[in-house]
Amino acid sequence: MVIQTPEWVKDAIFYQIFPDRFAIGNPPHQDFNYWQGSNLEPWYDKPHSQTYKGGNFWGIIQHLDYIKDLGINAIYFTPIFQSTCNHRYHTHDYYQVDPLLGGNDAFKEFLKQAHQRNIKVVLDGVFNHVGRGFFFFNDILENGPHSPWLDWFNIEAWPVSAYNGSFPANYASWVNNRALPKFNHENAQVREYIMRVAEYWIQEGIDGWRLDVPNEVVAQGFWQQFRERVKKINPEAYIVGEIWSPAEQWLDGTQFDGVMNYQFTEATIAFCGGHRILQKYVEVPPYHPYPSLNAPEYAQKIENLFSRYDWQIHLAQLNLLASHDTARLLTVAGEDISTVELCTLLLLTFPGAPSIYYGDEVGLEGGIDPDSRRSFPKETNWNNDLLNYHKELIQLRNEYPALRRGDYQVLYAYHNVYIFSRTFEQETIIVAVNNGVKSQEIELNASRLNLNIEKILLGKNSFITGQQEDNKTLVIKLHPRSGMILK
């Protein structure tokens, strides 16, 4: 079959926002119905598992120009629907944006203003499980075996114990967490309910769904039906799954357009960071940015990754260096800025849609959850050099189609030096990285590789072109722990 993925994703640069922690704002006038929480944790205190900071869509609206100026053209939100936890993976009502975020009015205004700036919006679809306050499950808690909704969930025995850990929960839940009852996806009504939720928000104007733990929804044909229903409304809607492992079974063209590309994440951090990676921050998530990789090993990882999927899938992967489920890159790297910069260079020049976790661009730190979900810092605490580095790379990606859609060819991989090209139509971009602590000088056969270098687009390194017999040569000089982009 011919695999098709959304065209806009191939040109997208995502910004991932954890809504409770990005910005607080107020509606422009009293016509909007909004209730501000009164028991909020101070914004700049380190977050705790159960505390709220009070971030909302009114605040995000007021920062849309910052996001646009960064060069971002797509936003992925962690869950926004009514819930009783700050991360909102405990859904109570899929049709209501959480009132602390400003409710449906605020989201509708946000969506309008984002689209006016040509920024796409992807929401987190948590369709494997719900919260205990979800109406259909709450009815079971109230009415026990007399509830008409028993077969929406997998009730194993009576009595059901939703809160008292001294007794068995007696129902299926996500990773045995009784706060997260798991849907019975074999139930036709449950399937139809989820399909209609997905359709409703696509009809309201969102541009796609990021699917939470979709590998745990094992009902036959569920995700094929999900794709068919969503794409019927908007063929360009983006469907991306949270899959941490190789994902061939979900990327056959009948289910997801892409996945969160943690395979790229772990290889890139292991190569750029090496022994600097603090293993205590990467032992819990199911990805492994260790042990260290040299350039040939990194090239092999990338080659293996490319061999897994159709090229159209690669162009629609959601590539990332950190997320709400991992420690932040700066902390993982032991606060080594060079590691962050080298990883970011590879992220912004790789096939697929890069995703920047809010605050990473200004040097926000954070360990394992909940520390990785800190509030966006005040401007006096920004690392402006890192911010400008992100802006420069994003601008280059937006300017040169080869960095978004070009094919990918490894030109050199030896010891600590990794060089590759991205070619689209008549345009070729060269990216070179030296992750070692010594300067390197690499000579390439420019004639054999069909290279005609014009200028440096990024980096304080240098190059020299020459002639040896019938061959043109390209000598690339790289400082320690540095990278460059050539046109």
Tell whether 114 and 244 lie within a shared domain. yes
Tell me, yes or no, whether 165 lies in a domain.
no
Q: Domain containing 394 — which CATH number?
A: 3.20.20.80
Q: At what angle do helices 222-233 and 188-204 cross, to 10 degrees?
A: 30
Tell whether 326 and 467 lie within a shared domain. no
Q: Domain containing 440 — which CATH number?
A: 2.60.40.1180
Query: What is the rounded average pLDDT for all residues in the chain?
Result: 96
Which tokens hold the place of 139? Answer: 């009815």
Instruction: Identify the bridge partners of residue 245 per DSSP, sorted by sequence position.
Output: none
Tell whether 392 and 429 lie within a shared domain. no
Q: Judging by beta carbons within 10 Å of its beta carbon (0-12, 13-18, 19+), is residue 142 exposed, middle or buried?
A: exposed
Tell me, yes or no, whether 416 lies in a domain.
yes
* Between residues 32 and 183, the one the model is more confident about: 183
- Other C-beta atoms closer than 10 Å to the C-beta of 467 total 10
Average pLDDT of span 91-104: 97
Contacts of 51 (CB under 8 A, 6+ apart): 40, 41, 86
Q: Judging by beta carbons within 10 Å of its beta carbon (0-12, 13-18, 19+), is residue 257 exposed, middle or buried?
A: buried
pLDDT tens digits for range 107-156:
999 999 999 999 999 999 999 999 999 999 999 999 999 999 999 999 99
Tell whether 117 and 198 lie within a shared domain. yes
pLDDT of 469 above 90:
no
Q: What is the pLDDT of residue 65?
A: 98
- Other C-beta atoms closer than 10 Å to the C-beta of 90 total 24
pLDDT tens digits for range 293-322:
999 999 999 999 999 999 999 999 999 999
Tell whether 422 and 314 lie within a shared domain. no
Contacts of 297 (CB under 8 A, 6+ apart): 271
Q: Judging by beta carbons within 10 Å of its beta carbon (0-12, 13-18, 19+), is residue 385 exposed, middle or buried?
A: exposed
Strands 258-259 and 318-320: unpaired
Structural domain harbouring 249? 8-128+183-399
Tell me, yes or no, whether 353 lies in a domain.
yes
Which tokens hold the place of 155? Answer: 């009730």
Tell me, yes or no, whether 160 lies in a domain.
no
pLDDT of 448 above 90:
no
Tell me, yes or no, whether 169 lies in a domain.
no
Domain edge (last residue) among 399, 434, 456: 399
Average pLDDT of span 221-243: 98
* pTM of the shown model: 0.97
* Between residues 77 and 32, the one the model is more confident about: 77
Tell whether 338 and 463 lie within a shared domain. no
The rounded distance, in Å, linking the Cα atoms of 69 and 11 is 16
pLDDT of 407 above 90:
yes
The rounded distance, in Å, linking the Cα atoms of 201 and 66 is 26
Average pLDDT of span 163-184: 97
pLDDT of 467 above 90:
no
Tell whether 80 and 205 lie within a shared domain. yes
Tell whether 76 and 200 lie within a shared domain. yes
Tell whether 329 and 435 lie within a shared domain. no
pLDDT tens digits for range 60-74:
999 999 999 999 999
Domain total in the chain: 2
Tell whether 392 and 408 lie within a shared domain. no
Q: What is the four-CA torsion angle of 292, 294, 297, 300, rounded to 10 degrees?
A: 120
pLDDT tens digits for range 269-300:
999 999 999 999 999 888 999 999 999 999 99
Q: Phi, psi at residue 444, to the nearest 5°?
A: -115, 150
Domain edge (last residue) among 399, 432, 467: 399
Residues with a known catalytic role: 212, 242
The rounded distance, in Å, linking the Cα atoms of 446 and 444 is 6
The model's confidence at residue 35, banded by pLDDT at 50, 70 and 90, is confident
Tell whether 343 and 273 lie within a shared domain. yes
Domain edge (last residue) among 338, 372, 399: 399
The rounded distance, in Å, linking the Cα atoms of 355 and 385 is 19
Tell me, yes or no, whether 2 lies in a domain.
no
Tell me, yes or no, whether 155 lies in a domain.
no
Tell whether 101 and 15 lie within a shared domain. yes
Contacts of 171 (CB under 8 A, 6+ apart): 153, 154, 155, 156, 160, 178, 181, 182
